Copies of this chain bind each other. A is one copy, B any other.
Amino acid sequence: MSIVQCVPNFSEGRNQEVIQKIVEGIQSVPGVRVLDYSSDKDHNRSVVTLVGSKEVIVEGVFAGIKVATELIDMTKHQGEHPRMGATDVVPFIPIKDVTMDECVELANKLGKKMGEELGIPVYLYEKAATQNHRTNLANIRKGEYEGLAKKMEDPKWYPDYGPKEFNRKSGATAVGARMPLVAFNVNLNTSDLTIAEKIAKNVRLSGGGLHSVKAMGVELKERGIVQVSMNMVDYKKTPLYRAVELIKIEAQRYGVSVVGSEIIGLVPMDALVESIEYYLGLEDFRKDQILENRLYQE
């Protein structure tokens, strides 16, 4: 059975009753599962993580979006996090037995449905983007809800789906497809933050380092050490082992060592398998050799 993850962000982080109703809407769809949800009062925003097969995931997230469209009024919304809609952003993420192209299709299916049935302007972003200037979510959201009516007058910002007119109550939504993100931090045996910052720079793409790695230096004050804190935005392109091994090599220049690492939050099994194949030197390993994968195959 395929697994697609979907992580809609809603512009409500204070009224628990509203958040609860959105989650219940999603959970009402058979085969869809809410793995996690969390709200931030300052951001006035909630993030829901749901999973389901490619057959049911759109229906699942749509049920939540429908509730959000009814209960959230953007004319009254305030919060620190940039936002442009009641349902602000909806990425589809391939986890198992599903391709990125199929996730792009799911984004299109949801966008069309939101436009037609809810009257919400939808912009496709990341892998689902139809135009280059819409790949980056920050570009789409620039100006936020308050600037949206004016922005939509420009043909460059006509939505991919839904009405070309500004929707006062719901704003607009970015719907897209992207790889799962793995939050991976590598600890160094020094308290010198500048070393972590230098290594982070060398490891990330923009500093002449690795593709699909975003990195910064962070201080772990309690432990008296520093870490290279990374977002691995495409573990298929750049697996975890490559980042940690490169950090080890860079660390030598500063006379420091890697003393540990951590994965924050969830990680798809595939992201670990890529690295175990490297370290054990596995030849011809097939993922269906993992007993659990055989088990849940349909």
Binding site for B on A (CB under 8 A): 3, 5, 33, 35, 51, 95-96, 180, 186-187, 240-241, 244, 258-263, 265-269, 272-273, 275-276, 279-285, 289-292, 294-296
15 A-B residue pairs with Cβ-Cβ distance under 8 Å, sorted by A, are A35-B291, A35-B295, A96-B292, A241-B280, A244-B280, A261-B282, A262-B284, A263-B285, A266-B294, A267-B289, A267-B290, A269-B290, A269-B291, A276-B279, A292-B292
8 Å CB contact of A266 from B35, B267, B273, B290: B290
Asked whether A292 and B275 contact (CB < 8 A) given A280-B240, A282-B260, the answer is: no
Lowest 8 CB-CB distances: which A-B pairs, in order? A279-B279, A260-B283, A266-B291, A260-B281, A261-B281, A269-B292, A276-B276, A268-B291
Q: Closest residue of chain B to A282, judged by CB?
A: B261
Contacts of A272 in B (CB 8 A): 272-273, 276, 290
Q: Closest residue of chain B to A35, judged by CB?
A: B294
Nearest chain B CB to A282 CB, angstrom units: 6
Q: Closest residue of chain B to A290, judged by CB?
A: B269
A268→B292 contact, CB < 8 A: yes
Most buried by B among A95, A279, A289, A291: A291
